[in-house]
């Protein structure tokens, strides 16, 4: 509960639907709570669904500290085609026959994407180069150097449905699942892109406890305020 003598503050767990941006989600909560100072702890691409932690009021101060939290994703990689965005939203740039997805082949290939790895940041990303977003440079077809970063990945499960692979992955903050999809396709001598993604958890927070867009739109402002988790809860992340 929020102290009635203090401006509302806390974490709001939102289950983002497919097709809206993270900023759209922020605007939705702003309109519901009549509060302008709202941010989030980490972007979800428009095609992705799942947990988005929205920070309200003074809780926005926790943004930097929470962005590095471990995350769990479930999703699907589709083999046979690579896109410019490395996901289903982009244009196909290369095609190749789908690889065999038997257990032995997958186990050997996935070794390269398990544990601490160096991954390439997708050209269509919010990472900045010399102060400019890479996705803006990519849209202009500007030549960009490869940007790589160290991340940590742990495969929790996988299930082949040729030509697709369903998975559940736990990863460090800043990991691009699109990169794993694209690079795994190349590793297997094919091409691939991410065709579905759902964020299941961020640190100790689960999408099971999140409010859907339909629920948020239907509930009164007071009910939405009651869903705020006080800032001290961020210590669990």
Query: Structural domain of residue 35, as residue ranges?
Result: 10-67+206-236
What global pTM score does this model have?
A: 0.91
Question: Which of the following is catalytic: 45, 114, 166, 209?
Answer: 45
* pLDDT tens digits, one per residue of 150-165: 999 999 999 999 999 9
**Does 187 reside within a domain?**
yes
Residues 228 and 150 in one domain: no
pLDDT of residue 233: 46
The CATH number covering residue 180 comes to 3.30.2350.10
Place of tokens 């705020």: 228
Residue 156 lies in a domain: yes
Cross-strand partners of 115: 153
Residue 35 CB coordination number (10 Å) = 16
Residues 28 and 140 in one domain: no
Q: What share of the chain is helix, strand, coil (3-state, %, to 5)?
A: 30, 35, 35
Active site residue 45: yes
| 5: in domain | no
pLDDT beyond 50 at 237: no
Q: How confident is the model at residue 42 (pLDDT cuts 50, 70, 90)?
A: confident
Do residue 184 and residue 215 come from a single domain?
no
User: Locate tokens 């940590």: which residue?
Assistant: 152
CA 207, CA 168: separation in Å to the nearest integer?
14
Residue 2 placed within a domain? no
Q: For 45-57, what is the mean pLDDT?
A: 95
What is the spatial distance between Cα 53 and Cα 22, in angstroms, rounded to a whole number?
Answer: 10
Q: What is the DSSP string of 1-36?
A: ---TTS---EEEEEEEPTT--HHHHHHHHHHHHT-S
According to the model, what pLDDT value does residue 234 have?
A: 40
If asked whether residues 63 and 75 sit together in one domain, one would say no
- Whether residue 52 is found in the same domain as residue 165: no
User: Omega before 163 cis (within 30°)?
Assistant: yes
Residues 158 and 215 in one domain: no
Count of CB atoms within 10 A of residue 173's CB?
Answer: 16
Q: How many domains does the chain have?
A: 2
CA 14/CA 30 separation, integer angstroms: 13
Q: Is residue 3 part of a domain?
A: no
Residue 226 near residue 115, CB atoms below 8 Å:
no
Helix (H) or strand (E) holding 180: helix 177-187
Same domain for 227 and 147: no
Is residue 100 located within the same domain as residue 193?
yes
Which positions ≥6 away from 114 have C-beta within 8 Å? 153, 154, 155
**Is residue 63 domain-shared with residue 76, that is, in the same domain?**
no
């Amino acid at each position: 509960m929020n102290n009635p003598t203090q401006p509302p503050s806390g974490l709001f767990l939102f289950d983002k639907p497919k097709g809206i941006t993270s900023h759209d989600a922020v605007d939705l909560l702003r309109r519901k709570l009549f509060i302008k100072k709202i941010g989030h702890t980490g972007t979800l691409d428009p095609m992705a669904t799942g947990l988005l932690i929205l920070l309200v009021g003074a809780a926005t101060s926790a943004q930097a500290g929470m962005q590095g939290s471990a995350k769990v994703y479930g999703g699907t990689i589709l083999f046979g085609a690579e896109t410019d965005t490395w996901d289903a939203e982009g244009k196909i740039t290369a095609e190749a026959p789908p690889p065999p997805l038997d257990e032995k082949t997958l186990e050997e290939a996935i070794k390269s994407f398990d544990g601490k790895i160096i991954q390439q940041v997708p050209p269509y990303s919010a990472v900045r180069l010399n102060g400019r977003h890479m996705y803006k440079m990519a849209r202009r077809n500007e030549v960009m150097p490869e940007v790589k970063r160290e991340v940590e990945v742990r495969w929790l499960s996988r299930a082949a449905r040729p030509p697709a692979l369903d998975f559940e992955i736990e990863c460090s903050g800043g990991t691009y699942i699109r990169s794993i999809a694209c690079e795994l396709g190349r590793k297997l001598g094919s091409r691939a892109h991410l065709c579905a993604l759902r964020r299941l958890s961020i640190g100790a927070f689960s999408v099971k406890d999140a409010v859907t867009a339909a629920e948020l739109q239907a509930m009164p402002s007071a009910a939405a305020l009651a869903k705020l988790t006080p800032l001290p809860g961020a210590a669990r992340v």
